[in-house]
A = this chain, B = another copy of it.
Amino acid sequence: VSGAAAPAPFVALLTDFGPGSYYVGQMHAVLARLAPRARVLDLAHDCPAGRVEVGAYLLGRTWPHCPPGTVHVVVVDPGVGGERALLAVRAGGQVFLGPDNGVLGPALGQAEEVRRIANERLFPGSVSATFHGRDVLAPVAARLVAGTPFAEVGPIAVAAGPPPGARLVDGGVEGSVLFEDRFGNLVTNVPGSLFEGWPADGAQEVRVLIGAATLAGLRRTYADVGAGELLAYVGSGEHLEVAVRGGSAAAVLGVGAGARVRVEVAR
């Protein structure tokens, strides 16, 4: 008899319910009741309400750090109770459950199998019209970590498209600010892979236009500029960010979520 049991399976939660809210608490409770050996990973609960494209960004930044086999429950679901389907996606050795509104985009981009959640035997309790995260997705996640085969969730499905991201335009890339983080940093939907192989030492080749400002060159970190100065850099989330060292870029630039960002390359 080996003393070391297998580690517990993980269920990861990502929502726009707000940290510390009883909506999150109800999901914790349902998972504890239906899957008492599983452990819950709170990946993010501060996604702005109903902002599907921000939810997709947060999922893309967090899921690659999770253990193999993690079952994700993603609830940014402004269409709850309406026509939108609920999906189950297998991708990258993990499983993703959530509404078919684009929030699962980072998983769908590399999906091995996509199914529509339809098997009501997996969520036998009553289902409210406004909280499918608690009444459908959490029970299905509990079944999956307990060993129910993936194929039992429902029939093969084709997902609707992911939310629009940054796009190539004449002379550069046009994107937008996804959100302002707690430090006043502006996180954009421009992927950092765009800049791979480029010099990151204050090179003048790149210009970032945001609000009324034009920033020349990408920096590596806050300490590369003086206190109170603006910088553009590829953040820890591997997307373009704009910050002020020791201050708030959102306040200094007077811009926030939805603001346009343009990246140009000097020829």
- Which A residues are closer than 8 A to B by beta carbons? 1, 3, 5, 7-8, 10, 12, 14, 16-26, 28-30, 32-33, 36-37, 39, 41-46, 49-50, 58, 61-63, 65-67, 70, 78-83, 128-131, 134-135, 181-184, 220-224, 233, 235-237, 246
Of the residues B21, B83, B220, contact of A81 by C-beta under 8 Å: B220
In the complex, which residues of chain B have a beta carbon less than 8 angstroms from the beta carbon of A30? 65
Q: How far is the CA of A67 from the CA of B35 in the complex (A)?
A: 10
Known: A1-B3, A130-B221, A130-B233. 11 other contacts (CB 8 A): A5-B5, A7-B37, A22-B43, A23-B181, A28-B43, A29-B62, A29-B66, A79-B222, A81-B221, A129-B220, A130-B222
Dominant secondary structure at the A interface: loop
**In the complex, how many angstroms separate the beta carbon of A100 from the nearest chain B beta carbon?**
14
In the complex, which residues of chain B have a beta carbon less than 8 angstroms from the beta carbon of A182? 16-18, 21, 49
B43 touches A25 (CB 8 A): yes
Number of copies of this kind of chain in the complex: 3
**In the complex, how many angstroms separate the beta carbon of A188 from the nearest chain B beta carbon?**
15
Of the residues B49, B128, B134, B181, contact of A183 by C-beta under 8 Å: B49
- A134 (CB) vs chain B CBs: closest residue: B236
Of the residues B33, B61, B130, contact of A235 by C-beta under 8 Å: B130
B44 touches A39 (CB 8 A): no
In the complex, which residues of chain B have a beta carbon less than 8 angstroms from the beta carbon of A183? 49-50
A83 touches B1 (CB 8 A): no
- A133 (CB) vs chain B CBs: closest residue: B236
In the complex, which residues of chain B have a beta carbon less than 8 angstroms from the beta carbon of A233? 129-130
A41 touches B61 (CB 8 A): no
In the complex, which residues of chain B have a beta carbon less than 8 angstroms from the beta carbon of A3? 1, 5
